[in-house]
């Protein structure tokens, strides 16, 4: 028996089993999942844009418009995927016949260097040609579909055959693959639809085309940084060695999106070493913020003084003040800060434990601040003509 006829028999057997799975467990097991995460992300991003618009922060608004567009696009994709899944459940006759599935499997040989079927593992795999994106050679990928997992996620994996990792990131073998899982982006709805319908030829073609396309706007690691760079301690995104800053408080390296300039002492700080004043909404390093006894709201010196003045005018009671960071013994005995002092309390920020390795790598942080204060040397390009600093 020739290899061709062996493969043909395997394809027919696999097609029958795939068809049975699609008619049964895949069809009835799929859960309606609303895109809550995408919706919440869109709502938060839109709220930040509204705030920036209300404050007249033009540079921040321009940046946030792109974020809203991205979030909208993501929500739209996930809703479309949901529609397709509902449509498939309401129209079971749209599932490919065993014959069509078998023809799909047999036709894959014309598109891929290697096609194999493992009846015991319930898998079909194809080998792509070598993939090179922007002069970075990533090698060929084996796309392995486990048909019993159709209807669950993930049903397939993309395994690099000649892994070319970015520096210190062995979990990434392609700008859009993390831990062997492809982030399908624009292809998500079509890929899902093709799997549900059993159109395996279309499925493998779609995955191959995603692998062959580079989206610089949304990569785990940008190809420009594939052979160098470091990970932002704030959001985990990859930054080139020329495009990061160090927090003056904790010394961690952060990207420009996670870097702030204190509105009081002008030090450069990361998101964890800084916060917004609850009153004026400006950003400060933690030593330049304070809380009052019994309160958790952080206030800058100016707002704190204003609040104290209001209250003393009303009640004539003195209140004690607790700084946001633990003060040195000498500072704790000092009198209430005067208008000339820069920081309410000055204390070293405890060393951070390091990068959160459990956070998924993102090019943009999950929560982007409304307004930025950046180093003057690095931020000339984002300043608006309204003099926003």
Partner 1 sequence: MKVLFINNDGGGFADHIEVHEGTTVRQLFQERVESGKPDNYLIRVNRQPVPSDQVLQAGDRISVTPVKIEGAQ
What are the residues binding partner 1 (CB under 8 A)? 74, 80, 83-84, 94, 103-104, 107, 110, 175-176, 178, 182-187, 189-194, 197, 199, 201-202, 205-206, 209-213, 215, 218-220, 361-363
Question: Closer CB to partner 1, residue 140 or residue 213?
Answer: 213
- Minimum CB distance to partner 1, residue 373 (Å): 27
Separation CA 329–CA 211 (nearest Å):
59
Which is nearer to partner 1, 201 or 276 (by Cβ)?
201
DSSP symbols for 333-372 = TSPSP-TT-S-S---PPPPP----TTSPP-SS-SS--SS-
Q: How far is the CB of 194 from partner 1 (least distance, A)?
A: 6
Q: How far is the CB of 97 from partner 1 (least distance, A)?
A: 12
CB 166 within 8 A of CB 225: yes
Compute the least distance from the CB of residue 272 to partner 1, in Å.
22
Which DSSP helix (H) or strand (E) runs through 126?
strand 123-127
| CA pair distance 252, 14, nearest whole angstrom | 53
What's the CA dihedral at 203, 205, 206, 212 to 10 degrees?
150
Contact between residue 345 and residue 300 where contact means Cβ atoms under 8 Å apart: no
- Cβ proximity to partner 1: between 178 and 230 the closer is 178
**How far apart, in whole angstroms, are the C-alpha atoms of residue 102 and residue 96?**
10
Q: Which of 209, 328 has the CB closer to partner 1?
A: 209
24, exposed or middle or buried, with CB in 10 Å at 0-12, 13-18, 19+?
A: exposed
Three-state DSSP class for 75?
A: helix
Which C-beta is closer to partner 1: that of 126 or that of 197? 197
> Which residue, 209 or 318, is less far from partner 1 as judged by CB?
209
User: Helix %, strand %, coil % for the chain, to 5?
Assistant: 40, 15, 45
CA nearest 41: which of 80, 71, 82, 64? 71
The CA-based angle 266-374-371, given to 5 degrees, is: 100
Residue with Cβ nearer partner 1 (80 or 248) = 80
The helix or strand, by DSSP H or E, that contains position 52, with its residue range, turns out to be: helix 36-55
Closest distance of CB 164 from partner 1, Å: 17
Closest CB 163 distance from partner 1, rounded Å = 18
Least separation in angstroms between residue 211's CB and partner 1 is 8
The conformation of residue 129, written as its DSSP 8-state character, comes to P
Q: Please, which residue, 206 or 344, has the CB nearer to partner 1?
A: 206
Minimum gap (Å) between residue 175 Cβ and partner 1: 7
Nearer to partner 1, 82 or 280 (CB): 82
Q: How far apart are the first and last CA of the chain?
A: 76
Strand 114-118 to 123-127 pairing:
antiparallel
- Provide the minimum distance between the beta carbon of 167 and partner 1 in the complex, in angstroms, as a whole number: 17
Those residues with Cβ within 8 angstroms of residue 243's Cβ, 6 or more apart along the chain or in another chain? 255, 256
Least distance CB 171 / partner 1 (angstroms): 12
Given strand 289-292, what is the order of strands in its sheet?
A: 299-300, 289-292, 321-323
Name the residue nearer to partner 1 (CB basis): 215 or 291: 215
Q: Give the integer Cα–Cα distance in Å for 274 and 287.
A: 9
């Amino acid at each position: 028996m020739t290899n061709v006829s062996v493969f043909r028999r395997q394809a027919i057997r696999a097609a029958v089993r795939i068809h049975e799975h699609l008619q049964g467990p895949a069809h009835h097991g799929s859960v309606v999942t609303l895109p809550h995460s995408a919706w919440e992300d869109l709502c938060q991003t839109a709220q930040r844009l509204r705030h920036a618009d209300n404050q007249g922060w033009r540079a921040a608004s321009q940046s946030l418009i792109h974020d809203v567009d991205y979030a909208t696009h993501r929500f739209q994709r996930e809703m479309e995927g949901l529609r397709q899944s509902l449509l498939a459940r309401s129209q079971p006759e749209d599932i490919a016949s065993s014959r069509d599935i078998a023809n799909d499997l047999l036709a894959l040989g014309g598109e891929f260097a290697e096609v194999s079927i493992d009846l015991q593992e319930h898998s079909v795999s194809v080998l792509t040609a070598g993939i090179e994106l922007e002069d970075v050679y990533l090698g060929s990928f084996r796309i392995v579909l486990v048909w019993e997992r159709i209807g669950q996620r993930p049903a397939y994996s993309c395994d690099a055959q000649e892994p070319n990792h970015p520096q210190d990131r062995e979990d990434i073998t392609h700008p859009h693959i993390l831990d062997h899982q492809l982030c399908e982006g624009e292809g998500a709805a079509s890929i899902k639809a093709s799997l549900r319908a059993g159109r395996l030829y279309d499925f493998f073609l779609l995955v191959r085309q995603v692998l062959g396309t580079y989206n610089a706007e949304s990569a785990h690691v940008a190809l420009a940084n594939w052979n160098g760079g470091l990970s932002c301690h704030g959001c985990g995104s990859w930054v080139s060695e020329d495009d990061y800053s160090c927090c003056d408080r904790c010394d961690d390296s952060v990207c420009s999106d996670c870097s702030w300039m204190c509105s009081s002492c002008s030090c450069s700080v990361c998101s964890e070493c800084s916060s917004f004043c609850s009153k004026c909404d400006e950003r400060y390093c933690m030593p330049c913020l304070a809380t009052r006894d019994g309160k958790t709201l952080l206030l800058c010196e100016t707002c704190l003084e204003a609040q104290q003045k209001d209250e003393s005018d009303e009640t004539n009671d003195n209140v004690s003040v607790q700084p946001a960071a633990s003060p040195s013994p000498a500072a704790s005995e000092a009198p209430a800060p005067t208008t000339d002092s820069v920081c309410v309390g000055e204390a070293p920020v405890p060393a951070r434990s390091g990068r959160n390795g459990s956070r998924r790598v993102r090019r943009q942080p999950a929560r982007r601040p409304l307004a930025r204060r950046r180093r003057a040397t690095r931020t000339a390009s984002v300043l608006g003509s309204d003099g926003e600093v």
